[in-house]
Amino acid sequence: MRLLIMGPPGAGKGTQAARIAGYCNVPHISTGDIFRAAIKADTELGMKLKGYLDAGQLVPDAVTIEVIKERLKEPDCIRGFLLDGFPRTIPQAEALDRMLVDLGVRLSAVLNIAVSPEALLQRLTGRRICRKCGTPYHVVFNPPAVPGVCDRCGGELYQRSDDTEETVKERLEVYTKQTAPLLEYYRKQRLLKEINGELDIEDVWKEIQGVLRGLC
């Protein structure tokens, strides 16, 4: 299965992607996670990226495309993959199409998790993430059993530096201008599957499972 998960920041992509990756036995590839890991490791790439993430701006296409091109060459992608947060611009989508042609494969589906802007602001400002395993939580909608501690691995939870109200507003604008047009791109290719992301986490997952069953 080769899947894309799309939707505005805070729609629940990461939350559902972890489940989809397990269900379909494919790697979950998040460009945001790759970039944050590079920043944390203080690599040359990381130093170039930090300013873009802190400002809520997109990393330039050339850098992002190169990162995904290399990642899709890894052997675990032979059985399929789930891309989360990529593509985010039309040039990225066109580059992905070329990569897929080179690999001799096609996308199975593009899942779009739709959520209203008001709900997104609430979701992002209340988001907490495990430092160790990356599992996302929410202080109200999906709290851990013990505040500040990951249920899965006991790691410490932290708040992403770009999950502040000001940066969230910028990220939502960037999404509307640069990423939302991709929905039409994939609708035209008849790949788009709409998911109601306003439901609670379990019900969103049920909708996604319904779509995935239809693809198997």
Q: Which residues bind ligand ADP (CB under 6 A)?
A: 7, 9-15, 123, 126-127, 136-138, 141-142, 197, 199-201, 204
Which tokens belong to 100? 């897929």
| 8 binds ligand AMP, rule: CB under 6 A | no
Q: How many residues bind ligand AMP (CB under 6 A)?
A: 17
User: How far is Cα 79 from Cα 190, in angstroms, rounded to an integer?
Assistant: 23
Residue 187 among the catalytic residues: no
Which tokens belong to 140? 């109200």
| 52 binds ligand AMP, rule: CB under 6 A | yes
- Residue 123 interacts, among ligand ADP, ligand AMP, none and using kind-specific CB cut-offs from 5 to 8 Å, with ligand ADP
Catalytic residue chosen out of the listed positions 48, 69, 71, 160: 160
Task: Count CB neighbours of 127 within 10 A.
Answer: 22
User: How far is Cα 5 from Cα 20, in angstroms, rounded to an integer?
Assistant: 10
Q: How far is CA 134 from CA 31, 108, 121, 129, 159, in A?
A: 13, 26, 20, 6, 11
Residue 13 among the catalytic residues: yes
Residue 171 among the catalytic residues: yes
| 112 binds ligand AMP, rule: CB under 6 A | no
Among 4, 38, 58, 130, binds ligand AMP (CB under 6 A): 58
User: How far is Cα 150 from Cα 143, in angstroms, rounded to an integer?
Assistant: 9
Active site (catalytic) residues: 13, 88, 127, 160, 171
